[in-house]
Amino acid sequence: MCGAFDFLRGFLLIMLFLTAGKLISSYLPITFPGSIIGLILLFIALSSHVVKAEWILMSGNFILKYMALLFIPIGVGLLNYLELIFSHWLVIVFSLFFTTLFIMLLVGHFFQYLNRNEEV
């Protein structure tokens, strides 16, 4: 019973922050996703202890645990782009692997170097 209440309270809070983010986003002169604004608002609320971390811990962890699952329908949506993908496949594959792995390696080493005092 207590668990269900906890879960619901967390979920409603998360939706509240998302809605606030979307509302602000609709008034901005530039296009900027409401979800990121919601994230920043929730972060501010947590840091200033307006919202206690325990309130959203349960539903938050539940969503994070299954976050990967949420990408699947969009991924299946690639079906619509098959032609586009096939006609550009070489440069697509190269851009994906080269850029992704290159950024990872460059940024990883850069951060590791800047962060080196930590290790000693």
Partner 1 sequence: MFLYIALPLTLTVFFTSKRLYAYKTWPFFNPVLLSILSLILIHLLLGLDYAEYEKGTFLLTSLLEPAVVVLALPLYLQLHLIKAKLNIILAACLLSVLTAFICAFYIMPLLGADLVTAASFAPQSVTTPIAMEISKSLQGIISLTAAMVIFAGIIGASIGLGFLQLFGVKDKQAQGIAIGCASHALGTAKVLEVDKVAGAFSSIALIICAVLSALLMPLLYALLF
Of the two residues 1 and 87, which places its CB atom closer to partner 1 in the complex? 87
In the complex, the smallest distance separating the C-beta of residue 3 from partner 1, rounded to whole angstroms, is 18
> In terms of CB distance, is 6 or 14 closer to partner 1?
14
Q: Which is nearer to partner 1, 2 or 53 (CB)?
A: 53
CB contact at 8 A, 62 and 7: yes
Please, which of residues 66-105 interact with partner 1 by CB under 8 A? 67-81, 84-85, 88, 90-92, 94-105
Cα(2)–Cα(91) distance, integer angstroms: 54
**Residue 57 binds partner 1, judged by CB under 8 A:** yes
Answer yes or no whether residue 15 interacts with partner 1 by CB under 8 A.
Answer: yes
CB-wise, 23 or 78, nearer to partner 1? Answer: 78
